[in-house]
Amino acid sequence: MNTIRPVSVERHFTKQTPGSVLYRCGNTVVLCTASLEERVPEWMAGRGKGWITAEYNMLPGSTPQRKPRERSGKVDGRTTEIQRLIGRSFRAIADLNKLGERSLTIDCDVLQADGGTRTASITGGMIALIDAVNSVFKGVPADRYPLSDSVAGISVGMVDGSPSLDLDYERDVRADVDMNVVMTGKRRFVEIQGTGEEATFDDTELAQLLSLSKLGIEQLNEIQKNALGSDWPW
């Protein structure tokens, strides 16, 4: 299967942040908001650089069996790993010096989970991030704009012996090999997370999965461009 699931994007879904997107990918639904502060964490103060970070959360009703809320600062290992991935993905295409002493936080709240929540968070969060950056930097010369490229994420896997793109939950649990790929709009890799699920994979299968992921990223990049329209910065 070499097509992505149906995607819909609703920008400006909430009104309290400069960037907010309701992102649907098949039956996975994520609310991505981008908040901007005119300050940085204390450990970065005085350096003249900005900071971009992310938080990720699966809401209680996002799965068939209610997921307990993470309270009192207790965040499980999976959540920590995913929000670090999202933050790294955005910082990979940012010039923090051009951002100045400002902080951007992208919050990704999964309203409904059916596979690919981390990659949906990156793809939808990128749109919210651009809207937030544009609230300060729209119209500046290209050499002063703090983002150099876009970024998107997609899942791929070997399902029933064949490479498959954009796995929903049903295909994900059947996959012998599961991989998440994050790439820029210029087709440079940011991160590749791949593992065999009680299985192994060879060079040929790896090449097939990476080739399929590029196909998916190209489609997602076009969706991002179309969603932003004249606000697309490049």
Percentage of residues in the chain with pLDDT exceeding 70? 98
What's the pLDDT tens digit per position in 179-205? 999 999 999 999 999 999 889 999 999
Written as one letter, the residue type at 62 is S
Kindly report, residue by residue over 49-81, the tens digit of the pLDDT: 999 999 999 999 999 999 888 776 667 888 999
CA triplet 187, 189, 193: central angle to 5 degrees? 135
Matching residue, tokens 């097939």: 208
Angle at 223 between CA 160 and CA 215, to 5 degrees: 40
Mind listing the pLDDT tens digit for each residue in 72-122? 666 788 899 999 999 999 999 999 999 999 999 999 999 999 999 999 999
Residue 1: band (very low, low, confident or very high) from pLDDT cuts 50, 70, 90: low
> Is 153:171 a contact under the CB 8 Å cutoff?
no
User: Which residue, chain included where needed, has tokens 């970024």?
Assistant: 151
Question: What's the pLDDT score for residue 73?
Answer: 65
Q: Amino acid letter at 154?
A: I
pLDDT of res. 72: 61
Burial class (CB in 10 A: 0-12, 13-18, 19+), 90: buried
- DSSP 8-state symbol, 72: T
Which two tokens mark 120? 């949906």
| Token code pair at residue 219 | 């489609």
Amino acid in the structure at residue 14? T
Q: Which two tokens stand for residue 172?
A: 């994900």
Residues above pLDDT 90, as percent of the chain: 90
Average pLDDT in the chain: 95
Q: How confident is the model at residue 154 (pLDDT cuts 50, 70, 90)?
A: very high
**Per-residue pLDDT at 208:** 96
Q: Which two tokens stand for residue 81?
A: 């790993």
First to last CA, the chain: 31
Q: Would you tell me how many other CB atoms lie within 10 Å of the CB of residue 11?
A: 18
> Do the beta carbons of residue 175 and residue 159 sit within 8 Å?
yes
The torsion angles phi and psi of 151, rounded to 5 degrees, stand at: -145, 145
Q: How far apart are CA 13 and CA 32, in angstroms?
A: 9
- In sequence order, the β-bridge partners of residue 3 are none
For residue 119, with 0-12 CB atoms within 10 Å meaning exposed, 13-18 middle and 19 or more buried, which class applies? buried
Domain 7-228 has CATH 3.40.309.10: no
